[in-house]
Every structure is written in C-alpha cells, then in structure tokens.
C-alpha cells in the first residue's frame, strides 16, 4: 500500500492549495454596476452592512456559538462509537461494553437534540428582531425621499423591497448563517477526527476537494445571476399588479382585459424562466457533489478494503473493520455538509440579491434634506415671499421662470392660469416638497431651507384635488399623526367644514369603517374629510389645490361656506379653475408659461382687461 503514499500526498496538497485559491477567487469582490438607482454590490459590503444589524444582538450569537460547538458533538463522536461497536462485535465483546457504548451514543444524541432546540428558538427570536429593524429602516428611509424620487420609483417596487426582500434576508439570520458556520465546523472537526484515525485515507478524501471548490465557484456565479433575474422579475410583476389592480375599473371600461392579460403573461413568463434557471443551476450542483461523495466511497472501499484484507500498516496504523466503518460514516458526514451547503448557498445568494435591492433603496440620498443647523419653530406668521425663483423638474426645462411675489400674514392669495402654467408647482415649493434651482423662498423673512422639514410642514395644511383616504375609520383619517384629540374636538372640526352633516347619518359615526382609498364615500365626502383633518391640526398656512374641481353643486356650496370660515384662520393659498371660488381673495396672481403676468384683486384685474379678464369672460360664456 505504500505505493499510494506519494500520489495521495500530492493529491491532498494540491487539493488544499487549489481549494484555498478557488475559494479566494470565488469571493473576489464583484465590480459595482449601476442599474438605475440600483447597483450590484460587493459581497463584503453586503456582509458588513448585514452584520451591522446583527451587532446589537452579539450576546445571543455568542451563546449560539457555544451551543453550536456542543451540537456538532454527535457528528464527530457517533462514527467513532459505531466503529468501536464494530470492533466489539468482531472480537466477541462483553455485554457491559456494549451497554456503555449504547449509553454514550444515547447521551450524545440527547445533548444534540437539546442544543438543536435551543439553537432554533434563539435564532428565530433574534432573527425576527433583526428583520424588524431592517424593515423599519427601509420604510423610514422611503418616507424621507422627496416627491420627485418617489415619482420615479414604482410603488410595487417599494412594496417588494419592504416585504419580499426582507423576508429573503430573514432566512440569512434564522437559518443560513448558523448552518453555514455549523457545517464549516463539522467539516473541520470531521477532518481532524479522520486525520487522527488514519492519515492515508484522509489524504485520499482531501484529494477530491479541488473539484468541490470548483463546482462551488461556478455555482456561485450562476446562482447570483439567476437570483438577480428572479428578484428583478418579481419586482416587475409586483409593480404591474400594483398598478393594474388599482386601475382595473379603467381596464374593464375600455375592454382591455385581453391586452393586460397578455402583458401579465409576458412578465409571468420572465419570472418562470428566471426561476427555471435557478432550479437548473441547483439541480446540477448537488448531483456533482454527490458524484464526488460516491467516488470517495469507492476509493475508500478499494484502498481501505485492500489494506484491511492484506492487514497492512499505513503510516504506522493498521486498517481494521472498525476504522473502515468509521471512515465510511465520516465521508458521509464530510460530504453531507457540503451538499447542505448547496441549499444554504442557494438561499445565501437569494438573501444577498435581496440585500442588494434593499440597500440600493436605502442608499438613495434624499434630495430634500435638513441643513445641519436647521431651525425648529413652534409658530409662523404666514408671511411668504418668492424672490426670482426658477424651478425645473428636469434640467433646463423650466416650469417657473423668475417668479417673484409677496403674501402677507393671514392674506388669501389665489393662483390662476392654464394647465401646466406652474400653479401647483408653486404650492409644492412652499412646502419644500422640491428644492428650487435658483432664487429664494422666504417664510416670515427666513429662507425655507433654514427650517427643519418636519417643523416647516407641520405649519401647513394641504387640501388637494385628489384626496387620499387611508383604510381605517373616519376618526383615524382626521387625526392622522395625533391620538390626543377628543371626539368633541373632532366633531367641532367636522362641523366647521360641514362634514358633520353626512357623518351623523352614518351608523358608526366617527368610527365608521373606511375602505381602501375611501371608495365607500363620495368624492365630495372625501374632500370634506380632508378639510376636517386640515382644520383640526390648526395650520398657520392653508393650501387648496383644485379642492373643488370634482365636486357636485350641493357639496360645493358646503365647501364654499367652509372656505369663507377658513379664510379667517391663517394665510391661505388657493389654486382653482373656477374663478367663482376665488373672487373674494385678497390677491389673485395670474401665471402663464411659468411667469407671472398679472397681480391684483378681482375687480382690479377685470379693470385691466388682460389675461384674467379673458379667463373670466371665457367662464361666463354660455357656450362653455
């Protein structure tokens, strides 16, 4: 048998060195590639950022480590026990020796079961806490993004990031990470036990490791690519569903069901093909590893069996039947973790691909941010001034061009003009939903960039044409961020804007259920609810953007009465196409193509017989 020594030694050395080389090459950092706002990240960067979330729970992971060490006792000790039993049987053992071995085996098994249970409980609790923190950070960051950034990211994509992708990451902390470590220790421990048992047979096993490392490296490359495709396809289909289910009424009205189904089928097919690719990659990797396992067993049976039959010594140790049995079990325990690593590596690639998607969102720098020394103010007077303001949503495509005007405290100012002239943009800039490119916007003589964004916006109340109502109750939609309002205060606000007239008719009153987007209420009722939630928060500046555009005549009369009351509360900025709504405004600003063309009150502008006069005549025309 000594003729095999040089070959086995060379094979083992090549195996260990090539394994280290291939593993090092396999873990080389991927080149960063921009994909819109998303990018491919380096593995080291992903691991570092994920470990940041695990750091607060390091004590739990230390405890897990010690439990892990105990739990692998079975994998290391059980082959030795079975080998000793084989020797006892062969040598006509005494029953007392057998009882001892059985008791030892049972004790090791009980310890392993207890460790496995404790490990699972600690991992699940810790992993879910980490997952919750990641999900909260992702949602908090999404809340900090500007309107422009949110307009460029499909809602379905954001939903996928916070739900599907965080769930994929949860597997990393609750299953993958600990099993990767466990399997690593099992492989190392088994190798040590094999070296102690028989050197030559161990060298034979190690000679197969370069192929294991090579298969792992190839699998890694294809698996990551597959999971990126799967994540992209999942995001695409979720985005499609989010948009098209919300717009299903339009699809049905225009009889577009067939077209939309074909679009969905295309996206679904892409997802199917991406998943097929992942299945194929995995189905090739595991059989390859199993093939190496069977080759190792065949070599063991040949080399070990030949040594046992000839009763020869190998590096000073004889191969006995017990050694062969133990080694057979050790080979199984050596390759089992490697085969399990396929599944864990599979899930690891999924977790890393999900982490890339989540961190790409979280790496987006908010376009509108607080200055380091931003002010937090408790009250503003409501004086607003635009000084030579230029603004564009896209570079050089100016929506506002050198706009300047002044609004005094508690003054009501209306903006009129054709669609696309820049009226709504002005209201968005006052609340700093966007940052201007040139000029200056002042609130009470202070540049709005000097205010904390949260402090600035809490002094504004906005009533928009497209009212968004959340699922919940009427009460929860009115109070929003505050829970300290009493029912009397809420009803007082509702009476102030005439919303009480329909609320009192509802069976549940303030606790009446509100379905998704408030679809169980009329447009006018939703608008009155938005007025109530604005009034109850007592804003210093109120903004009405086409708040009466889609409302019936009866509801408009209620809203007009509410507007007259609200004009006494604070500064009011109004955008309205119906000039009857803004005739009593203190000042009317006429905008055309991003520039102010006229300013004055209703009568002054009519006397000028300019742009406002033409708009007024157009609305009075019997043909309109």
Q: Considering only the C-alpha atoms of the chain, give the largest distance between any 2 of them, rounded to a whole number of Å.
A: 122
pLDDT value of position 27: 42
**Distance in angstroms (rounded) separating the CA atoms of residues 402 and 404:** 7
pLDDT value of position 35: 40
Task: Report the candidate in 51, 38, 31 with the shortest Cα–Cα distance to residue 360.
Answer: 38
Residue 233 makes CB contacts below 8 A (sequence gap 6+) with: 267, 270, 271, 274
Residue 34 makes CB contacts below 8 A (sequence gap 6+) with: none
> Residues 84, 90, 91, 93: what is their CA dihedral angle, to the nearest 10 degrees?
70
Residue 392 makes CB contacts below 8 A (sequence gap 6+) with: 398, 399, 437
Residue numbers in the chain where pLDDT is lower than 50: 1-5, 7-8, 10, 16-36, 313-316, 624
pLDDT value of position 91: 63
Domains of the chain and CATH, by start: 2-26+37-362 (1.20.1560.10), 380-459+577-624 (3.40.50.300)
Say what angle helices 58-71 and 73-90 make with each other, to 10 degrees.
10
Q: What is the pTM of this model?
A: 0.67
């Amino acid at each position: 048998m000594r003729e095999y020594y040089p070959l086995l030694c060379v094979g083992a050395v090549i195996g260990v060195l090539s394994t280290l080389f291939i593993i090092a090459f396999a873990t080389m950092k991927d080149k960063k590639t921009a994909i819109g706002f998303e990018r491919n990240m380096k593995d080291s960067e992903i691991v570092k950022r994920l470990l940041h979330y695990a750091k607060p729970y390091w004590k739990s992971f230390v405890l897990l480590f010690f439990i892990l060490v105990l739990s692998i006792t079975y994998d290391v000790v059980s082959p030795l026990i079975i080998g000793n039993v084989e020797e006892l049987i062969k040598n006509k053992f005494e029953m007392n020796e057998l009882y001892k071995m059985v008791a030892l085996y049972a004790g090791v098994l009980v310890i392993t079961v207890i460790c496995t249970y404790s490990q699972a409980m600690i991992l699940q609790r810790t992993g879910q806490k980490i997952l919750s923190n990641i999900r909260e950070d992702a949602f908090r960051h999404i809340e900090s993004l500007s309107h422009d950034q949110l307009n460029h990211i499909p809602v379905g994509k954001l939903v996928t990031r916070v739900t599907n992708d965080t769930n994929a990451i949860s597997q990393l902390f609750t299953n993958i990470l600990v099993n990767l470590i466990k399997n690593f220790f099992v492989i190392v421990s088994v190798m040590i036990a094999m070296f102690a048992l028989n050197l030559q047979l161990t060298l034979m096993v190690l000679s197969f490791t370069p192929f294991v490392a090579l298969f792992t490296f190839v699998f890694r490359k294809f698996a990551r690519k597959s999971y990126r495709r799967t994540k992209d396809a999942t995001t695409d289909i979720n985005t499609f569903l989010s948009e098209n289910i919300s717009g299903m009424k339009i699809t049905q009205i225009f009889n577009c069901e067939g077209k939309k189904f074909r679009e969905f089928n295309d996206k679904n097919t892409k997802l199917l093909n991406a998943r097929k690719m992942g299945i194929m990659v995995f189905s090739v990797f595991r059989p390859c590893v199993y093939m190496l396992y069977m080759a190792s067993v065949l070599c063991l049976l040949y080399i070990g069996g030949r040594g046992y039959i000839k009763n020869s010594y190998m590096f000073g140790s004889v191969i006995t039947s017990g050694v062969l049995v133990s080694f057979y079990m050790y080979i199984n325990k050596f390759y089992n973790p490697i085969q399990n690593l396929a599944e864990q590596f599979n899930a690891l690639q999924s977790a890393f691909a999900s982490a890339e998607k989540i961190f790409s969102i979280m790496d987006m720098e908010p376009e509108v941010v607080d200055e380091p020394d931003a002010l937090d103010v408790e009250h503003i007077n409501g004086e607003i001034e635009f000084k030579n303001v230029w603004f564009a949503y896209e570079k050089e495509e100016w929506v506002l061009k050198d706009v300047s005007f002044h609004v005094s405290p508690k003054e009501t100012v209306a903006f009129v003009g054709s669609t696309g002239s820049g009226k709504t943009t002005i209201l968005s800039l006052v609340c700093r939903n966007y940052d201007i490119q040139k000029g200056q916007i002042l609130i009470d003589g202070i540049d709005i960039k000097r205010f904390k964004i949260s402090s600035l916006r809490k002094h504004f109340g906005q009533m928009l044409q497209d009212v968004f109502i959340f699922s919940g109750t009427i009460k929860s939609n009115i109070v929003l961020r505050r829970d300290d309002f009493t029912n009397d205060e809420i009803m007082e606000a509702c009476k102030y804007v005439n919303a009480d007239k329909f609320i009192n008719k509802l069976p549940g009153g303030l606790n009446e259920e509100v379905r998704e987007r408030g679809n169980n209420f009329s447009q006018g009722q939703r608008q009155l609810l938005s007025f109530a939630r604005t009034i109850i928060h007592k804003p210093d500046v109120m903004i009405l953007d086409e708040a009466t555009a889609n409302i019936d005549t009866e509801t408009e009369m209620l809203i007009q009465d509410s507007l007259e009351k609200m004009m006494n509360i604070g500064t009011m900025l109004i955008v309205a196409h119906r000039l009857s709504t803004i005739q009593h405004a203190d000042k009317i600003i006429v905008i055309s193509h991003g520039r102010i063309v006229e300013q004055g009150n209703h009568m002054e502008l009519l006397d000028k017989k300019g742009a406002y006069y033409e708009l007024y005549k157009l609305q009075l025309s019997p043909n309109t």
